[in-house]
Amino acid sequence: MKRRHITSAISQTFGKFASKEFPHWFQNIVNRSYVGLMGLDMSEFHSPETYKSLNALFTRHLKEPRHYSLNAADFISPCDSLISECGTLISDYALQIKGMRYKTDEFLGQNFSDEEKKSIHDGDFINFYLSPKDYHRYHIPTNMKVLKAVHIPGKFYPVNVPSLKKRLNLFIENERVVLQCETMEGKTFYMVLVSALNVGVMKVSFEPRIQTDADVVGEQVYEFKDLYLDKGDDFGCFEMGSTIVIISEKGMFEDIVVKAGDKVKFGETVATLK
């Protein structure tokens, strides 16, 4: 039997601790300590003592819905995050971070055809890094159709900026869920959820069969016929911080209005569609 990478063992151990519901007095200490240590802004959420586990705190929901542009051309951020990198692909090369590039053909895995992979060559990309203090849920960035989801097992290396600078092809090595999407105008883009250390679980609400950080061998493919999702819909969460990469076909975006180093929140317009 193939041995799992040490990063998986660490993530599973932390996941068990985070999921455990301790006695209220102790859980309150754990939650408040985490909020203070990481500097969480809880102004849009319930108070820390209301969450029965650390994982419940990680995956907290907003108390009130956020407002975002209803203009169909406005493509919104799917999460609260740092833009670690963004720009235009050179053929199938995208930037992991400045000076470190990787091939999107490898990033998407083995279950997309050469034609499907070529559809995004010379297109655009935006990397959204969620730190441990960020709101961990993710949302739909534009009215769209989901064609396919592919779960690719892998490692759980940290995805913070120092790690991105040190490890070539980190995005390709880490476990990920690749969503093949289509805008209402028929343009193709991929939204990729990338795991990280202590982020064993990436939940996808519209496909509960996807079980990340599990004993899965090989890529798992899920195809959909008429799965339409609306801008702003909550479709899952990371259990801790991680990264979402959006890669679009050439000409899908009129303009990307963010740059590397920007902090964005879910609902903020990050690009405009043609």
Beta strands of the chain (E only): which ranges?
A: 74-76, 81-88, 93-97, 100-103, 124-129, 137-139, 144-152, 176-183, 188-194, 202-204, 220-229, 234-238, 243-248, 253-256, 263-264, 269-273
Assess contact for 204 and 245: CB atoms under 8 A.
no
For the chain, how big is the Rg over CA atoms in Å? Answer: 18
Q: Which two tokens stand for residue 135?
A: 């709101």
Residue with tokens 């289509």: 182
Cα separation values, 245 from 2, 127, 142, 190, 263, Å: 29, 5, 15, 8, 15
**Catalytically annotated residue among 74, 80, 105, 213:** 80
Question: Rounded to whole angstroms, how far apart are CA atoms 162 and 159?
Answer: 8
Question: Rounded to whole angstroms, how far apart are CA atoms 240 and 57?
Answer: 10
Closest of 215, 198, 153 to residue 178, by C-alpha: 153
**Catalytically annotated residue among 139, 195, 213, 248:** 139
**Catalytically annotated residue among 11, 131, 242, 248:** 242
Is 139 marked active-site? yes
Question: Rounded to whole angstroms, how far apart are CA atoms 90 and 48?
Answer: 45
Strand partners, 144: 183, 229
Provide the annotated active-site residues.
80, 139, 242
